[in-house]
Structure 1
């Protein structure tokens, strides 16, 4: 090992973020001789209510060599084809934001341009008929993609998971410790900085012992014990656009077979989530404390539970926003310590994953090259801003006039970056994916269309096809989607066959 190389990494905090980092770093740095330690206290609870993911988690699990069926069993997981949004555009409306795509590209442009032309000419096939994800979700069906079915929508099924986040952290801890990661139990009571360079030198535990390292990864949650408490990295508050600042979570008994999708139901003061697992149903109410007190928010959550509550309610307070520096000196913040954009589109675990990937790409030596750190921070900031804009869209694109929260959201000024996107789409249905951002054109289309933002016209190339040919293609594609859904097994039947949890 070079004298300049990092010799010891200390991860402060366990939970999903801490053990994802420990598992990934121990796997990728195996054989380097680097010591990795996780410091966490059982006396300090983790947030651990996020139970839904997006498809990118498959890449993380594959990187670690995790068998998917084992992972599903160990975490009591179900499969997720998308998110159903209820009462967002207007009360009584619902739509599904699916993973995957709509239809198929034609003549080198996105399918939705042809669909808008067809609909504007009197076509009656709804956009949802062209998504295998939407069709399967509503029918309660699931299967993994089958690459052998070339030309069939069954070859391109995209999915994620709904799982128990605490069990996932436990599973990753087992793998990390098997790879040599050392866990230290203890509550951190002090952080000591190096007088020469301002780096974190060591942390002091409540038993008087200390843990030193060359690099520290802050997974201490909203507190940001190192990144903010010790280094004062700063935090940008985005509540002007994402006004919800509290949540209450409460699982309930499972009633019936779990659906292969998550549900987000807008309320007068925020929204409720419903996430079905094999073992239970996860529920929560995200709300704005300007308009409701905690007791009323809990009562609203309880009114929407499918089954009997399985625990006391877990109340959370947060400020939507992002750390000004996710990496400062020798400290990298991951998870809630880096920022929080509320769980509306299930991005929290993904942002942990991309933070880890970005760290590995820019992994330092003990000189901690500032241009690398600056690049990491710029890319992290950009990713959070792009996700932020997509989440704001859900609140802004509403016609609801039934409560102060929704009138506020409907009328609020929005970031210029989002305003431009909406304006371009309204004019000519064009959608762009910038800089390999997280949410694709499919995602933007699902929310814009689902919440009644409609374009004046379509791309001119969509006029190339004759009306007869366009109608024929639309009928054929919709028929292929319907046939694909009919060929899929029921969601629970698939789980029973391949990955039923023993608990």
Structure 2
């Protein structure tokens, strides 16, 4: 039956969240049944600092039928194989969290368990990073598309993008408007609620009144509908994620952009470096309890690769999320629902999760309550699992050179994270779950990269000839090096794809949570 279908959806706010939502709804909903309106004001700026993504964005783009070459040109994007973390475990340490696997399991036992056992046995096989093709490729400045042959060593990784978020929003705006989305320029002056507490209409500054059955709040940190009007409480997680400020400034770019993001820890927070085609995105994320805005920006300036291209943009935030992302007839997407800082490039991913779950649970009046409850449970889980992974980076440190790191190292952490860390410390065991963005290789990367070393090995490896396993590992390491040697440079791959009228790219064959080899 279509008589009870949602006839009108209003999205409040543009930016990345608003136009991703508009594009997805326009692609999936029947325009004859549901019209979509987006309200935004050019007088209200966007945060505009999110420029790094996770591989799942490829699935989002491909689902919308977006050609990757066109996307690369429109957003000045570059390829991304992972994130390099410097000075997080100890000063001078560095590791890359890759979008791919470490080695291959043996008899269903994870590779890192054998790697640890072989090293304990006195064999010299190299670091764990030597067995991750995307790490070796990133360090060599190489990039190529994953192979379609699942038996190939070149099928053991995925990739994401560095992009200009403002250009991505504009790109999706054109996509959405071409599919019937109506954009209204204006500021909301008043939000009127019905006797049952639902939002009844929005009153704009030019006396327009907009009514809909479903309202989507993409108003950013202001959270105009969900937070301000419907008064959904905010769960504050700043006791674990202490950073509450960021300053961003672009600078002149590099002719040979690296295929990875950099996250460099400082004594009061950390610095990002994101290479685009036309510039480098830079920023400092910090805790205002330990450093002033002027000091944080001065430190960032020292580490810029080239001349600044704009004035610094300071942003304040609080880590956490709304207790419910869907209240009454309002769903919050993006910053209006919560924010967990850009450390692992999860902001656009969480937008994507919110949109995907909304489409899966799109409301009809007679089912609204049960759909809403499931949506809220799923979004809470998504935020909590990202939160715990981010906390791990701060807590798993040996740094004692500042008050900030002393706090992070000694703070109590959420029980579930403490449980996960304990299991890895004892046996190298990584807790598995179905719904969550960061799978086993991600946790292994941070644990080992920040010097959390298991005190014992998996007993299953004791039945193997470890000297023979070590020989296999050395051969695998050579295969990886040989494969990377044949790959083109990141710059050459990028230049080729940007200049294609229409490209052919590997299918992103993973769902919202699981990551396939491509």
* Farther off after superposition, 372-381 or 178-187: 372-381
Matches within 5 A, 1:235-314: 235-314=234-313
Give 1:487's aligned residue.
486
* Farther off after superposition, 30-39 or 255-264: 30-39
Give 2:508's aligned residue.
none
Matches within 5 A, 1:20-35: 20-35=20-35
Secondary structure at 2:54's aligned position in 1? coil
Secondary structure at 2:491's aligned position in 1? helix
The offset of 1:144, in angstroms, is: 0.6
Q: 1:278·1:501 contact (CA, 8 Å) conserved in 2?
A: no
Secondary structure at 1:74's aligned position in 2? helix
Give 2:391's aligned residue.
392
**Aligned length in residues:** 500
Give 2:226's aligned residue.
227
Give 1:444's aligned residue.
443
The offset of 1:175, in angstroms, is: 0.5
Stretches of structure 1 lacking an aligned partner (at least 5 in a row):
none
**Deviation string, structure 1 residues 57-105 (Cα, Å, up to 9, x no partner):** 1110111001111111111000000000011111111110001100011
Secondary structure at 1:390's aligned position in 2? helix
**Deviation string, structure 1 residues 28-48 (Cα, Å, up to 9, x no partner):** 013442110000000000112
**Deviation string, structure 1 residues 297-322 (Cα, Å, up to 9, x no partner):** 11111111000000001110000001
Secondary structure at 1:229's aligned position in 2? helix
- 2:101 matches 1:135: no
The offset of 1:123, in angstroms, is: 2.6
Q: 2:89·2:399 contact (CA, 8 Å) conserved in 1?
A: yes
The offset of 1:184, in angstroms, is: 0.1
Q: 1:72·1:501 contact (CA, 8 Å) conserved in 2?
A: no
Give 1:95's aligned residue.
95
Q: 1:10·1:39 contact (CA, 8 Å) conserved in 2?
A: yes
The offset of 1:157, in angstroms, is: 2.7
The offset of 1:5, in angstroms, is: 1.0
In 2, distance between residues paired with 1:277 and 1:363? 36
In 1, distance between residues paired with 2:232 and 2:499? 44
**Deviation string, structure 1 residues 338-392 (Cα, Å, up to 9, x no partner):** 1000000000000000100101111101346212111111111111111100000
The root-mean-square deviation of aligned C-alpha atoms, in Å, is 1.3
The offset of 1:499, in angstroms, is: 1.3
Secondary structure at 1:354's aligned position in 2? helix
**TM-score, normalised relative to structure 2:** 0.95
**Deviation string, structure 1 residues 278-305 (Cα, Å, up to 9, x no partner):** 0100000000000111111111111110
In 1, distance between residues paired with 2:287 and 2:443? 25
The offset of 1:208, in angstroms, is: 1.6
Give 2:147's aligned residue.
146
Q: 1:144·1:157 contact (CA, 8 Å) conserved in 2?
A: no
In 2, distance between residues paired with 1:323 and 1:133? 36
- 2:50 matches 1:50: yes
Give 2:216's aligned residue.
217
Give 2:476's aligned residue.
477
Q: 1:73·1:501 contact (CA, 8 Å) conserved in 2?
A: no
Q: 1:433·1:439 contact (CA, 8 Å) conserved in 2?
A: no
In 2, distance between residues paired with 1:302 and 1:501? 36
- 2:101 matches 1:110: no
